Amino acid sequence: MGVSLVSNPPYNMAWNVPDLAGFMPQYTGWPIPPKNNANFAFVLAGIAKITDRAVFLLPIGVLTSATKEEAEIRKLLIGSNMITAVILLPDSMFESTGIPVCMVIFEKNRKTTKVEMIDLRKHFEKEIRDQRGQYGGNSKTGRVYHKEINVITRGTMEKTVRVIRDHETEIGFCRAVIPETIRKNDYSLNPAAYVEKEAIEEKHRSFEDITADYNRIIETKNRIKIRMNATVAKRLGYDCLDTKKPDLSEAFEVVGQKAMKENYIRFSPDDGIEIRCSTKNGISEMIIMFMNSWKQRIIYLNNEENRLLAEFRDALLPKLMAGEITIPCSWNTRIKQEETDADDDDGTES
């Protein structure tokens, strides 16, 4: 029977690279792992000792780290056909660390070049465990803490073993990947880059219902139309209500709906507030009370409007992506003009 290994080495620790590391058996033929991170130093030392299989529990940073040495090690591991499977594990599986972790399975004398990429981040159950304090005197060690952690069920474990053995592909769970695919992805070993996500069908209300609610909000805003001096508005904090929103009616027209336009406040250099009130000699307390209540009401209605516009956007996007509706040319013209205006505001020279 061959020599196998299971290892959970310390994570992301610095190490003292031996002067003759390049001549040591475990590192011969490999780039020397960087001084500031010994993750791959442990991996290379482990796989040098096995004749069969090694399983490492590691921080997920090893899968995509950008340092030259670690990137080259990943490339050589794929080239030497040593990686059998990479498994992304759920968060909060361990009481002692919150670092996202993965499991990497190495194997010598493999009969296939496929790497099984498995994403278990959503395949877990929650469990409450009791943990007694370890430090801080009797006040701490005498307490029992109830900690919620994520656990992988036996059924999921058995399924994981099966898909590795049979090189299966399942949407939302796993994918058997050939080395060429990994090469095209810059030798990233993160399963999230390979496992196809499950398509979630999002349900939205009809455009008619969304538009009716949107128009109800705008109509409520427009019941009171106020015109006031811009300086007074700024002093009272009402200038924030001047949203200067673009005309959104075209957005609703693409789905055959008609949206109302906002027309509830206007700032001007003219003196006064219409609901007539001169500002030359101060502002009546009655008007301040009214305006404060009105302002809070407008803020609430603005939030409702934003919520409905977000719902409308989410309902509209699938139809845009599917080509069922098209964006009017005037939108592109407006977007370009807004970008030009933004550049002018930055004060940059063209």
pLDDT given for residue 344 in this prediction: 54
CA distances (Å), origin 130, targets 123, 127, 135, 143, 144: 23, 10, 16, 10, 6
Instruction: Evaluate if residue 350 carries a pLDDT over 50.
Output: no
Alpha-carbon dihedral of residues 231, 232, 233, 235, nearest 10 degrees? Answer: 90
What are 312's two structure tokens? 């409308």
- Per-residue pLDDT of 196-228, as tens digits, reads 987 655 567 888 888 888 888 888 777 777 777
Q: Up-side HSE of residue 119: CA atoms within 13 Å toward CB?
A: 18
Instruction: Evaluate if residue 48 carries a pLDDT over 80.
Output: yes
pLDDT given for residue 139 in this prediction: 63
Instruction: Evaluate if residue 37 carries a pLDDT over 50.
Output: yes
Band of pLDDT at residue 347, cut at 50, 70 and 90: very low
State how far the Cα of 266 lies from the Cα of 222, in Å rounded to an integer.
12
**Do residues 64 and 39 make contact, with C-beta atoms less than 8 angstroms apart?**
no
Q: Which CATH architecture has domain 5-193?
A: 3-Layer(aba) Sandwich (3.40)
- Per-residue pLDDT of 245-296, as tens digits, reads 667 777 888 888 888 887 777 777 877 676 655 556 566 566 677 777 777 7
Domain positions in the chain are 5-193, 207-346
State how far the Cα of 113 lies from the Cα of 180, in Å rounded to an integer.
10
pLDDT given for residue 195 in this prediction: 94
- Per-residue pLDDT of 161-200, as tens digits, reads 999 999 999 999 999 999 999 999 999 999 999 999 876 5
Instruction: Evaluate if residue 100 carries a pLDDT over 70.
Output: yes
Q: Which residue reads 């959503």 in tokens?
A: 122
Band of pLDDT at residue 345, cut at 50, 70 and 90: very low
Per-residue b or e along 194-228, where b marks 16 or more CB atoms closer than 10 Å to that residue's CB? bbeeeeeeeeeeebeebbebbbebbebbeeeebeb
